[in-house]
Amino acid sequence: MNILIAENESALVAVLQRGFEAENYAVDVAGSAHQAIPMLQKREYQTAIIDLDLPPTEGIAILEFVREKYRYLPTLVLTSCVPVADCVQVLDTGADDLLQKPFAFPELAARVRAIMRRGSRPPEVVLRVEDLELNRVKRTANRGGRGIVLTPREFSLLEYLMQRDGQRASRAEIIEHVWNLSAGTVTNVVDVYINYLRKKIDTKEDCKLIHTVRGVGYKLHSGAHPSKRYTESSLVEAVS
């Protein structure tokens, strides 16, 4: 999942980036509205964290832009001690939640998960391709009922490939979205991690899901119909 953090306090940025990357998020950081708005236009995010204290009123400007252009994007606002009236303004402007500094990272992470669960548009909770299943909330994976233990980076890579079921993903795209590095970065890390995934996912020769696209990169494909993606609401319907 991709998360945008609009924050210019370097020490806090380091804590947030380290914490969310450990929870399998690809983290982008913007120190101003001039940086954040182009990022929002270029990339699809699953949530945004905005510091209200960005000077002079850039936090509110980012929030207003999000609500005008990306109304369903779950958004949490950070703020130092402010009057109640200002908190009301932030929530009325469209923030899904507000957290006052200082705070503990586990509480912030829990609040982010909460606003994503109750978003206006049901989130994709479970991704499935053939008998491979990835639960994005529980952070679990299994194939044919067999549990698969994944590292955080392996989970993020598999999640990205499953979101693009049947579509080619170039090495540059994978580097940018999974490792959050420049598309021009020269490294074989994608090939190394694809190999790790294959050893865990494609254990049967005649049921391989991860395919090499020569000269391009990789794709995860069932060979049949596009994968079914389940939302929280559809899961409820399935068991009701």
Condensed to tens digits (0 to 9), the pLDDT of residues 74-95 reads 999 998 866 777 777 788 888 8
pLDDT range class, residue 166, cuts 50, 70, 90: confident
Lookup: tokens for 131: 């008998």
Give residue 34's region: left, alpha or beta (phi > 0; psi -120 to 50).
Answer: alpha
* Highest-scoring range by mean pLDDT, 5-19, 111-125, 133-147, 221-235: 5-19
Instruction: Give the whole-angstrom CA distance, residue 184 versus residue 180.
Output: 12
Lookup: tokens for 41: 């236009």
Query: What are the residue boundaries of the structural domains of the chain, listed by start?
Result: 2-117, 124-230
Residues of 182-200 as b/e, b for ≥16 C-beta within 10 angstroms? eeeeeeebbeebbeebeeb
157 has pLDDT over 90: yes
Q: State the CATH class of domain 2-117.
A: alpha beta
Which sign, positive or negative, has the C-alpha torsion 214, 215, 221, 223? negative
Which sign, positive or negative, has the C-alpha torsion 125, 146, 159, 47? positive
Residue-level pLDDT at 223: 56
Residues of 11-45 as b/e, b for ≥16 C-beta within 10 angstroms? ebbeebbeebbebbbbbbbbbebebbbebbeeeeb
Residue-level pLDDT at 240: 29
Residue-level pLDDT at 234: 35
pLDDT range class, residue 12, cuts 50, 70, 90: very high
Average pLDDT over residues 154-165: 90
Domain at 124-230: CATH code:
1.10.10.10
Residue-level pLDDT at 231: 39
- Comparing C-alpha atoms, which of 52, 38, 57 is closest to residue 7? 52
Please give the C-alpha separations between residue 220 and each of 12, 97, 166, 209, in angstroms, as whole numbers. 37, 36, 6, 5
What would the pLDDT profile of 167-221 be if each residue is shown by its tens digit? 899 998 898 888 877 767 778 999 999 999 999 999 876 689 999 999 899 999 8
CB 76 within 8 A of CB 95: yes
Average pLDDT value over all residues in the chain: 83
What would the pLDDT profile of 43-77 be if each residue is shown by its tens digit? 888 899 999 888 778 888 898 898 888 877 899 99
